Structure 1
Amino acid sequence: MNQEQLPETLIEFLVSLWNKVWMLSEQFLTPGWRQYQMLIVGGLVILAYLLRLLTKTQWDNWGHRRTGWPKWRLRALIHMIRRLTLIYFIVLSWAAYLLMQNVTWPSRSYLIGIAATLATAWLVIGIIARLVRNHTLRRLFTWSLWIYATLVALNLVDDVAEFLDSVAITFGAMHLSMLAVLKALMLAAVLLTLARFGSNAAGKGLKGNSDISPSMQVLIGKAIQLALYGLAIIISIRAIGFDLTGLAVLSGAVGVGIGFGLQKVVSNLVSGIIILMDRSIKPGDVISLGETFGWINALGARYVSVVTRDGREYLIPNEDLITSQVVNWSHSDRYVRLDINFGTGYGDDPHQVRRVAIAAARSVNRVLSTPGKAPVCHIIGFGDSSVDYVLRFWISDPTAGLTNIRGNVFLALWDAFQAEGISIPFPQREVRVLNTPLEISEPVEEPAPEAPKG
């Protein structure tokens, strides 16, 4: 459509809309059943508000007693209680409409039927809109459906659709109208919402399947999410009228340029897929990477979330986990062996020291005592001032921390050695002060050099 035809079409639409509004206003201003219906609708609104004031307390008390209901049902109940006036108006208006349809002419209840239809549509739209989590998208979705429901109730859909279809831009053989764009946007909102629900449902189903490993659950969930969202976007673009086959060459050229600029992003994405496929790291594993020690909270497409014992959450790029040396404390199993080095005096019996150290380690709660995982103690050398030992023990819950269990074992060793009279030597230095004074020689004066002769 060219620029000269667009103003003419807009003017024609505005004139037609003004004529219809004027005709409706004349009909409402003319005494008769239309005014009576408006009065009836106003009375029903007042009656619905009074019913809300009378019954809201009873509904609140009844809702507070629903302690065994699931959260989604309680949220729905709260949503309905907040709209008691609208619900009462819907019930009263439909009752009045059906009653007047049977006792009088149908035309004498036409406006009451429109009011009941609009109120019902608004209630249903408000309930459905709660499924959209994003606040901006929810408002856009709500207002779009409200406008469409109002046009349907007033029988203005065809006129508005004809005007929106006339506002268009032509690109060669493609005719892009405002109506097609709005339909595509609404379709995209619905499809993206359905894709989110589908991906969440698939994720919950995969988590409940014990036959699939956690890493494969994440990989399959990401693949389903990508497929659903990609399908929703493609269908929305096709709804506008774009021919996606013509974008193949352009997308290839753009992809090469983007690939050079997003090397790190692509590397992290590929590394994330490799991590999920080889199952070297999975949610719940305890890892060490450099100075970071914690357990994996989630696997993302670009990074891995690692939570440390102090509550910090590190987002480590997937590439670092592929190219760096990572210690996975729970890769094949969750058993971890810890070593503690200590020393005792040469006057203490080594056999007794080993027995006391093993018994002290066994007394700590998290230390395992099962066959093959029981604590052991060995002599590793004779030091300058002590006999050196190593105490080795196993734990099965590294997520509970390593420093705290080492500290508890050290404390148990201290108490046990104190009770058995075993000494823990420490380096000592002796400083001797000699009584003989030091002889300090007096400096000898050298003769001054003679002046040169002549």
Structure 2
Amino acid sequence: MTVNAKPSLETDPELAEIVSDALDVVSNPTDLIVTVLVLLAALTIAVLVTRKIKLKLGHQRPVLLILVEYLCMPLIMLLSLGATSLIGGSFDNPLIGLAGTLLFLFVIIRVIGAVVELLFRPTMLLRVMLRLATVVSWLAVVFAVFKDRSALIAKLYSAKLSFGGINLSSEGVVRGLVVGVVIAIIALWGDKTITNLLRRSRTLQPNFVLALSRIFSVAVWITATAVIFSISGINLTALAAFSGALGIGLGLGLQRLAASYISGLIVLFEQSVRVGDNIATNNIVGRVTRMTVRYTMIRTRDGEEAIVPNDSLTSNVIVNQSWSDRNLRLVCGVLVKGDVDLDLARTLFVEAMTAQSRVLQQPPPHMYITGVNDKGIQLDGHFWINDPENGQHNVISDTYDAVLAAFRKNAVHLVAQ
């Protein structure tokens, strides 16, 4: 699918003769009306047959459906025009022959578009743009055929626009749009392919996969953009000067955003924060559920999702409870009377902590006397868990329940607060 081929009537005598004969038909009202009716009939037949085939196929055969959507209408129109040429008489005129030639060019362009869509399976938006690009490419070829016979078409075909040192031509814009769609499809396919290959790697850490995929993605799209500009005839040197001036203005307003992206790459490569880690930063405590180049999402203990810009993770202190391992120490304490049996209280306290299913046995739970005053003795139990993402207050509450039940049963009295 390209618009580089520009037929010229001056260099192609046979084409010049076909166009000249066709224009003679246009000057004859009767022949023109008959030709228009034939073309409308062919178009109607093509539309009806294509619709019937699409309804019969449904969505069960996507490959055939794509081929039908691309090629069915122009091919049926060609067959219909070919059938009229066999009749002869008033139907056998150069205008129908020219229409058949242009339809044949359209079929060739649509075949290329169908191959691109079947190979790279673009997104819905790019699929629509690709099909539109085949029509635009065909129209560009038609304009190239008639530009030597029409001053208006020639003027439109050679129109130029200049701003900010960047020169654009209508031909270059059309070429950039048509070829740019194909390049964008291939770039998107390449981006997805590289990302999938990185994700399948068994040696790379998830943070590295995310960072490398983003770097490759930026490289792919920068290359694709440069190629599109080059094909469009845009001077990259002039564009660089214009972009530099624009970039200075945007940079002043987007410093924080740029810092977040750069910080995101730093965090991903350093792996100071990983998905699944329990962290505390800026009064936000929770588990990291998602990381992108721009932000990190933290699910708090209240079930809320906090979106933290990555530059906050590089400029502030982070408490990572899962950096070296997932073990987390928790503390629960009670104040008992001064005359209690401390050995019994210690034993009951440790047994209550040990009995909890989420409490680790290694390192084992311990109880410490952390304070003595005129009211009583402060006993604090220390224990470890390795699944803080499942909650911390719930396991502390269960431990308190077990301790209080054991103290009541064995007459270990607490101090009334």
TM beyond 0.5: yes
Residues 397-421 of structure 1 show CA distances to partners (whole Å, capped at 9, x for unaligned) of: 2222222332232233334434444
Aligned residue for 2:291? 299
1:177 aligns with 2:169: yes
Aligned residue for 1:195? 187
Change (3 A) 1:158 1:424: farther
| Contact 2:117/2:127 (<8 A) preserved | no
Aligned residue for 1:146? 135
Q: Give the letter aligned to residue 391 of structure 1.
A: G
Q: Give the letter aligned to residue 341 of structure 1.
A: G
Picking from 352, 357, 363, the partner of 1:365 is 357
Change (3 A) 1:143 1:89: closer
Q: Give the letter aligned to residue 401 of structure 2.
A: L
Quote the Cα distance in structure 2 between the aligned partners of 1:240 and 1:45. Answer: 34
Change (3 A) 1:423 1:164: farther
Alignment of 1:10-21 (within 5 A): none
> Partner of 1:331: helix, strand, or coil?
coil
Picking from 228, 233, 249, the partner of 1:241 is 233
Q: Give the letter aligned to residue 30 of structure 1.
A: V
How many residues align? The count is 382
Quote the Cα distance in structure 2 between the aligned partners of 1:192 and 1:84. Answer: 21
> Partner of 1:30: helix, strand, or coil?
helix
Alignment of 1:16-415 (within 5 A): 22=26, 27=31, 29-30=33-34, 39=41, 42=44, 45-46=47-48, 76=62, 80=65, 93=76, 114=103, 117=107, 124=114, 131-132=122-123, 135=125, 139-149=128-138, 158-159=145-146, 164-169=156-161, 176-246=168-238, 259-369=251-361, 372-415=362-405
| Contact 2:70/2:111 (<8 A) preserved | no
| Contact 1:287/1:329 (<8 A) preserved | yes
| Contact 2:354/2:365 (<8 A) preserved | yes
Question: 1:46 deviation in Å?
Answer: 4.4
> Partner of 2:221: helix, strand, or coil?
helix
Aligned residue for 2:414? 424
Q: Give the letter aligned to residue 408 of structure 1.
A: D
Residues 317-374 of structure 1 show CA distances to partners (whole Å, capped at 9, x for unaligned) of: 22322222211111122221212222333444322322322332233332222xx323
Change (3 A) 1:174 1:40: closer
Q: Give the letter aligned to residue 145 of structure 1.
A: T
Q: Give the letter aligned to residue 179 of structure 1.
A: E
Quote the Cα distance in structure 2 between the aligned partners of 1:223 and 1:185. Answer: 26
Question: 1:171 deviation in Å?
Answer: 7.7
Aligned residue for 2:6? none
Question: 1:276 deviation in Å?
Answer: 2.7
Change (3 A) 1:95 1:259: closer
Quote the Cα distance in structure 1 between the aligned partners of 2:71 and 2:176. Answer: 35
Percent identity, aligned pairs only?
Answer: 23
| Contact 2:167/2:234 (<8 A) preserved | no
Question: 1:224 deviation in Å?
Answer: 0.8
Quote the Cα distance in structure 1 between the aligned partners of 2:27 and 2:298. Answer: 67
Can you give the 5+ residue segments of structure 2 that lack an aligned partner in the other structure?
A: 1-19, 148-152
Larger C-alpha radius of gyration, 1 or 2? 1
> Partner of 1:306: helix, strand, or coil?
strand
Q: Give the letter aligned to residue 225 of structure 2.
A: I
Quote the Cα distance in structure 2 between the aligned partners of 1:124 and 1:151. Answer: 19
Q: Which has the higher contact order (CA 8 A, sep 6+)?
A: 2
RMSD value over aligned CA atoms? 4.8
Quote the Cα distance in structure 2 between the aligned partners of 1:51 and 1:222. Answer: 43
Quote the Cα distance in structure 1 between the aligned partners of 2:24 and 2:222. Answer: 43
Which range moves more in the overlay, 157-166 or 416-425? 157-166
Change (3 A) 1:402 1:148: same
Using structure 1 for the length normalisation, give the TM-score: 0.66
